[in-house]
Amino acid sequence: MRSVDSPVPWRTALKIAGAAATALPPERVPLGAAVGRVLAEPVHAGADLPGADAAAMDGYAVAGTGPWRVVGRVLAGGPAWAGALGPGQAVEIMTGAVVPPGAVAVLPYETADLTGATGWTKAHIRRAGEDARAGDELLRPGRVVTPAVAGLLAQAGADDVPVRRRPAVRLVVTGDEVVAAGVPRAGQVRDVFAPMVSALVTAAGGVVADRVLLPDDAGLLAGCLAATDADVVVVTGSSSAGAADHLHRVLDELGARRLVDRVACRPGRPQSLAALPGGRWVVGLPGNPYAGLVACVTLLQPLLHGLTGAARPPAPRLSVVGDVTLTPPATLLVPVRLAGDHATVVPGSRPASLAGAALADALAVLEEGWHSGDPADLMMLT
């Protein structure tokens, strides 16, 4: 068990979380279920793409020089033209149809001049194998399956896809004062972490397996961490040093290896990352909602990216404008809205309030020496 006397610098915590985990084992899923998942193996073309010379426009496939005489029609998906076109011959052809041997161009309907007087400047023929040859590597492991990637996989003939298993997350919300639904009474607070963390987990490629609402009880917390097959357990509201904050002691009792105990950032200092025996992970979030969001961006998202095998998205860097007071050496994360070539600080942000973050596009990472108008990294929220 490792204890740290001083908080970990924010960028160091980000790197530790991103490098902590290795990608989960692969599984094969139907192509329709693969969007948003991460490829676990290279994908190769099963055949030439396209498989034959094909028309790129509706029009006339022509052979030789004009004038051309139309001798037939070829439809997409229909039988190929028997034989080859001779000089001066043309066939009416649809987009995607196989171009007859001998054709030198497809003249689009809109500009076709079958007399040959205007000639042609572009062939409008997709040649066999121009996108890929059979056996060519189309995509490398680690690529997220986007809609365009799914389309390419379909072109390659894939029916199922090797992707990384989604990390399963158990969300444990602690606090005697927390209620799961409805308007909280005096002395109560609504659980904001279930919807917020669930959305973040989904966006990072994971799935929330279950959610548990616990009172402030060390024994119940220990049982909740031990009795789960989830890859990651996210614990909210128990990572500080108060009388009701039991996470650190419970982790020690379970033989966990603590990688991050506290982070030198505002808000979100009392956040933690630990490895449980057996290859499972625990992320501790502060109980204040905005501080918890900062901790999600700092520790939980990078950890999930590591488990899915996805590369962490690069942080855009823009000029940030706003009235902000820094307190070095802590890194300050503030909500900002994008405004063309710069970002503006959303005023009034507080650790217990999500009002500013809800209006923001990103969190700006403001570090020692920053002044209004200077560039800063942005952790995107959308």
> Could you give phi then psi for residue 313, rounded to 5 degrees?
-60, 135
| Same-domain pairing of 95 and 213 | no
Average pLDDT over residues 346-363: 93
C-beta separation of 326 from 336 below 8 A: no
pTM score, two decimals? 0.86
Residue 3 pLDDT class (50, 70, 90 cuts): very low
- Single out the residue in 308, 334, 363 at which a domain terminates: 308
Burial (CB count <10 Å: 0-12, 13-18, 19+), residue 312: middle
The domain that holds 153 is classified in CATH as: 3.90.105.10
At which residue do the structure tokens 């194998």 appear? 129
321 in a domain, yes or no? yes
Mean pLDDT of 309-335: 93
Q: Binning pLDDT at 50, 70 and 90, where does residue 121 land?
A: confident
Question: Residue 156's pLDDT is what?
Answer: 87
Residue 4 predicted with pLDDT over 80: no
Quick check: 320 and 345 in contact, CB under 8 A?
yes
Mean pLDDT, rounded, of the chain: 92
Find the mean pLDDT for residues 305-309: 96
* 1 part of a folded domain: no
pLDDT digits (tens, 9 = 90+) for 124-134: 999 999 999 99
Report the pLDDT value the prediction gives residue 216, as an integer from 0 to 100.
86
Last residue in a domain, options 308, 332, 355: 308
Report pLDDT digits (tens) over 19-60.
999 999 999 999 999 999 999 999 999 899 999 999 999 999
What's the domain range around 120? Answer: 52-127
pLDDT category, 1, cuts 50, 70, 90? very low
DSSP 229-270: --SEEEEES-SSSSTT--HHHHHHHTT-EEEES-EEEES--S
The total number of structural domains in the chain stands at 4
Per-residue pLDDT at 357 exceeds 50: yes
pLDDT, tens only, 156-215: 888 999 999 999 999 999 988 888 899 989 988 898 999 999 999 999 999 999 999 999
| Domain co-membership, 97 together with 218 | no
Are residues 183 and 275 located together in one domain of the fold? yes
In terms of domains, do 213 and 227 share one?
A: yes
Mean pLDDT of 271-284: 95
Q: For residues 197 and 211, what is the distance between their CA atoms, to the nearest angstrom?
A: 10
Same-domain pairing of 135 and 244: no
Both structure tokens of 188: 């109560």
Task: Say yes or no: 137 and 186 in one domain.
Answer: no
> CA 117, CA 312: separation in Å to the nearest integer?
56
Q: Tokens 């004009």 sit at which residue?
A: 66
Question: What are the DSSP calls for 155-189, one per residue?
Answer: HTT-SEEEEEPPPEEEEEEE-TTEESSS---TT-E
